[in-house]
Amino acid sequence: MKEPKTEFGWELRKLRLEGKIRYSQSQLAKLAGITASYISQLETQEKIPKPRVIRRLSAHLGVTPNHLFSKCGMVEMDLASTLANNRDQVSRKMPDLSQEQLEELANYLTYLDFKASTL
């Protein structure tokens, strides 16, 4: 078996083998609706996980999707959706932004929310 190369690969392998429920690659793959070969490729960085795969894996590994998203350098799109639909929250968290910057940020977050819905 190849060794994981990325933080995501190490974390996936660790959670799979040391979690409350220990899974073989085949067991976890079946639960997540992917192949054992794909699990292996994720663990060894031959493949980059798609957001929907990260969500499926996290559901069975006892962690939040954000935990796994952070391990592969992605941002959970639910955050973009929340911020895109709640401009007051954005302005409270970033009070130094001008109205124009807030508007630009809101437009970008709306775009990210749209892109996430197509994944």
- Please list the pLDDT of the chain residue by residue as tens digits (119 residues): 555 556 899 999 999 999 889 999 999 999 999 999 999 999 998 998 988 899 899 999 999 887 888 888 776 555 555 666 666 767 777 788 888 888 888 788 777 766 665 55
- Residue 45 C-beta-side C-alpha neighbours within 13 Å: 11
The whole model's pTM is what? 0.62
Tokens 């793959």 sit at which residue? 29
Tokens representing residue 25 in the block: 């690659």
Q: How far apart are CA 72 and CA 47, in angstroms?
A: 11
